[in-house]
Chain A
């Protein structure tokens, strides 16, 4: 039992810290620290900087060109990036599809897809949810019919995050209707420039178009774009979830946002109001407890022990914390969170924000936006089902 990082781990952290300080563009970290709007160009600029260093796939093993870091090194890297104000890496390429391609794809697919993901050149999207398949993802209906050396894809995906920028999309598609719903699903990589694909952005309650509907109308996909075996896609998707547990808790970002919450509370004059301050104190304890939980999972991973019974808790607690800090930030600003001036969330906006503090402009929008966190990635109610299963059988 030892809470301290080893000298090697601390040296590693310092190396990362120095590199991030030297390479993270100040205009981007300024936006992140103040929750201003990030453009596609912002996100991809940072991705390419990481890619050039070989760190965009920071979780990748060396055999695929990754740094081969262990669980704690990965955590330290994520922490340094988050605290410095780096944008969250859009996970669909390097974090989500790449591990599946590595584990289940063939050598040709490795060669064809991994370099573009590692460099940040190719923007990937995720095609899982459908209008009729949310929490019950296995009921998905988008069909992929094998015709010769092609699949013909028909159907609709939705909630496709940043899909308006997507160049490729990895999809779960139905290739069989026999047996249990889970057994007829395949994992298909689709070029979003293919004829028959239509992307329609969905305007959300905060006014942003963060997600999209994606239609497939007789889209031809070469059979060589199938990952692994036909009808085994559900297993591949589950493999991914099992390897992406601590990241979803996002405790490093929560630590950064707690600092921001304190800054906002001070600026708005509520930090010394004990009734408000105690709410921040509760959140602080929540964040420390979540960080300890994350460190326990990482420690178990490092020593090869099973931590499945607590890993399931991370998403629930992490998402609740994200909602809570965004809520408290909005409450700190009070009536000055209410003016809805869309452009005021852009860096360099020169107008007069009511109350005089432009940092208040995105607070309500962020609060509204964060309601998604307990819904996506398996709703928190589904997560509770999973936790209960491990406890009650």
Chain B
């Protein structure tokens, strides 16, 4: 048992942090939001750092790294509330690498690692909420060629991505497909989400598709669990920075002639924020370190982790706004953007109430980090 980071992992953290601090300041982010919430050039800079190939094997031009490196990276991107969807790339590259036929891997993974192709998970449907087993989209085969019909909602950079990983039902079972955005029968309706990032509705009308796997629910659960671990790590970065900004503010803002950091009612609130941050960080470690556990154990662990992060994010986001006072409800000041990011992350891959239900349903006689 060991929670120290290796030298290589610390170097990775430094490299990402340096890029965020120097290459992705608040003004640039604001400009990207104004321009639609996604910047291909910024995404290309993530690729230059090698991050888009983090999970891609060296054989396919990636770095072949593991969950701890992904966690370190997502924490740092979270600190800068980076809009470009690296989580999606980590999900889809891992999914293709684990489940797709060799030809499909060879066609996409090198381009994904290089940042030339963006592939995102398009799994959410209006009727499913967070239930992965509910899928109205249909896949069908005709003369050896697959096609998919259905509508997927709130798909990250859905009108910018090059392809989608899409769950669709085949003979009552969920299968996973790859659908190119440029394919016939694909239309999108793009928009900005609450945190300033881009998403789209994706409509598929007998869109040509390539089969990734017929064992789609298992693959989808793995995909979403990778996403949950990413979101947990990203949340830690966002919360860490949110608390730091709040602490700085409290040590400079004066009321009644003194720094507001001197008031005990506020100090105790900060102690509670620190508690939520560290419980959250602990459970983010837990999530990433359980990603390769057997499916039952992994799913239970993810639900526990995402529940804790949901509680932590809501508390830290709301209290950061409260401790700042009026300035925090302006668009101009940075903390409101961190608050919105935390709010959006809670509703990604299953919110707090959903995860509580999952934990509750999966409880066993014994419980702990190792059970």
> Residues of A with Cβ closer than 8 Å to B?
1-6, 9, 72, 255, 258-259, 262, 274, 277-278, 280-282, 284-285, 287-293, 295-296, 298-300, 302-303, 305, 309-310, 313, 316-317, 381, 383-385, 387-388, 390-393
Contact = CB atoms under 8 A, between A and B. Distances in A.
B41 interface: no
Nearest to A297: B3
B293 to A, nearest CB: 9
A33 to B, nearest CB: 13
Given A4-B1, A258-B367, A300-B3, A292 B285 contact: yes
A299 B1 contact: yes
A98 B278 CA distance: 32
Contacts of A278: 356-357, 360
Nearest to A296: B3
A262 B366 CA distance: 9
B257 interface: no
A288 B250 contact: no
B17 interface: no
A292 B369 contact: yes
Nearest to B362: A281
B267 A277 contact: no
Contact of A384 (B1, B272, B279, B283): B272
A278 B359 CA distance: 8
Contacts of B359: 281, 284-285
Given A285-B304, A384-B267, A387-B271, A262 B1 contact: no
Given A289-B282, A293-B282, A392-B247, A274 B360 contact: yes
SS class, residues of chain A in contact with chain B: helix
Interface residues of B, number: 44
Interface in B221-250: 243, 247, 250
Contacts of B357: 278
A259 B365 contact: yes
Contacts of A262: 363, 365
B290 interface: yes
A387 B274 contact: yes
Given A289-B308, A292-B285, A277 B2 contact: no
A288 B283 contact: yes
B368 interface: yes
B368 A288 contact: yes
B278 A281 contact: no
B5 to A, nearest CB: 6
B68 interface: yes
Given A262-B365, A285-B304, A289-B308, A1 B243 contact: no
B366 to A, nearest CB: 6
A391 B363 contact: no
B203 interface: no
B289 interface: yes
B112 to A, nearest CB: 25
Contacts of B1: 2-6, 9, 72, 295, 298-299
Interface in B22-52: none
